[in-house]
Structure 1
């Protein structure tokens, strides 16, 4: 059998994934087209993944495991593949998120990445740069799989009311995004609070930040700039941001009142009757 592209499995996690997919497919006596038919994907997509030209998704990996009898290998490997495709400066942060037992996040401008929908994330990532948008969106959404772990972190997020009104991706996208936030109502491990405009000056005026807490390691504060991330375990910084977060929670609406505000904005600002303008990003 002619190999279109001889991969070096040690070159990257993506190359290793492609190498293993081809090896297991050929061991099963299947062509790319035949495997694609079994997985309900095209043979062309199988070929692109095997030659490290296309990122696999968690769904593709689950189907490949079932079809090739690989006992979850591809589902485990895809986590490493997707994390490796994050910007280098963010990879450490993704690792912190995956290990944290509690995440406390304040977001001053938009919906926090761990709660973004596909359409919303695509609109955010597509500003000024639409290259490889499918792959970059998939990589961002893959970080949300930390909530599918056997013991997911407890996630507290405070969103500025600005995030509800800043129309990102069009009315339909915003309605879907706010509906997604409401889907966590009653989930004790994902808690969404809104910091209302009426709060005035508040403890987060200097910008967004996250606090990652771990079972045995020191807590870490994370802030972000353009193209750079800044995690720190400095005790004074952690103490200061923890105090700021306490004050932000005190100023924010309760979980129930936050959900009511999200629901009201979703219906009044992004109701279905206003869809004539469509979305800016599909």
Structure 2
């Protein structure tokens, strides 16, 4: 209990969440085990979240709100908690991404974060050998909630064909990831194009980049290096990035042809081979 009493609610969103969870639980006269029984988890998990040893999930938060009648408090707090789990250098971009009205991205190596399945994201993030992989994965999934808004940002993603061919997480993970991309075929807000290998040299051989546009703020260009990210609103840089993106769009397959290529790669490269082929009997 010493760790709980020592918790400083001003230290971080996670500390504040744990402090509020304990305060509301005790106000209802419940032990950790009793609350766990109500929300279908262990009392140990409740205690670990109260003492910031575990990151709460959105499902956990929604159940706590229902059990304690907290009018969505924990469902609101969990968004702040999960965003705080993003790398410090990435948080400013995530905040701008959440405010953008138009997102355009070219990805040379990986599926864009907003389009990743949880298992694909886990495989990608694990390569950095993080201390809290679960927290990073949960934070990446939380970022994707901007696509679920009543009016999400208009988004355009150009993926290099290499993204489809690189088997992140293995064939099963890739098959489900490509199926996820196909869910956006004909989508109103998200459009996906593939830049085929046959395009040869192109306007962004230097690598991936994102363009963010806003209703009331200057456009931003975002790039990453090995250990950090960089944002700039420099008009010359933004103008050059926009020109390069237009050239990439022109060189890429149409949205319809891109979906056809994704389907073909999914079936031919990552098809379900768990069932043995039928054998004819002479």
Q: When the two structures are superposed, what TM-score results if normalisation uses the length of structure 2?
A: 0.94
Report the more deviating stretch, 82-91 or 36-45.
36-45
User: Shift in Å at residue 20 of structure 1?
Assistant: 0.5
| Preserved CA contact (<8 Å) 1:172 1:275 | no
Could you tell me how far apart the structure 1 residues matched to 2:129 and 2:56 are?
22
- 2:172: which partner in 1? 172
- 2:32: which partner in 1? 32
Deviations 1:47-94 (A, max 9, x none): 111111111111211111111111111111111111112111111001
Call closer, same or farther: CA 1:128–1:91 in 2, change over 3 Å: closer
- 2:280: which partner in 1? none
Tell me, yes or no, if structure 1 residue 42 matches structure 2 residue 53. no
| Preserved CA contact (<8 Å) 1:210 1:222 | yes
Call closer, same or farther: CA 1:152–1:138 in 2, change over 3 Å: same
Aligned-residue RMSD, C-alpha: 1.5
User: Shift in Å at residue 222 of structure 1?
Assistant: 0.1
User: Shift in Å at residue 151 of structure 1?
Assistant: 2.2
- SS of 2:207 mapped into structure 1: coil
User: Shift in Å at residue 40 of structure 1?
Assistant: 1.8
Could you tell me how far apart the structure 2 residues matched to 1:63 and 1:191 are?
34
Call closer, same or farther: CA 1:275–1:205 in 2, change over 3 Å: farther
Moved over 4 A (4+): none
- 2:17: which partner in 1? 17
- 1:196: which partner in 2? 196
Could you tell me how far apart the structure 2 residues matched to 1:184 and 1:66 are?
33
Deviations 1:95-148 (A, max 9, x none): 011100110000001111111111111111111515321122111221111112
User: Shift in Å at residue 19 of structure 1?
Assistant: 0.4
User: Shift in Å at residue 42 of structure 1?
Assistant: 1.7
Deviations 1:126-181 (A, max 9, x none): 11515321122111221111112232111110000000000111110000110111
Which has the higher Rg, Structure 1 or Structure 2? 2
Tell me, yes or no, if structure 1 residue 251 matches structure 2 residue 248. no
Tell me, yes or no, if structure 1 residue 268 matches structure 2 residue 231. no
Could you tell me how far apart the structure 2 residues matched to 1:208 and 1:136 are?
21
- 1:232: which partner in 2? 232
**1:183-222 superposed matches below 5 A:** 183-222=183-222
- 2:4: which partner in 1? 5
Unaligned runs of 5+ in 1: 277-282
**1:91-170 superposed matches below 5 A:** 91-129=91-129, 131-170=131-170
Unaligned runs of 5+ in 2: 277-282
How many residues in Structure 1 have an aligned counterpart in Structure 2? 275
- 2:223: which partner in 1? 223
User: Shift in Å at residue 274 of structure 1?
Assistant: 6.0
- 2:77: which partner in 1? 77
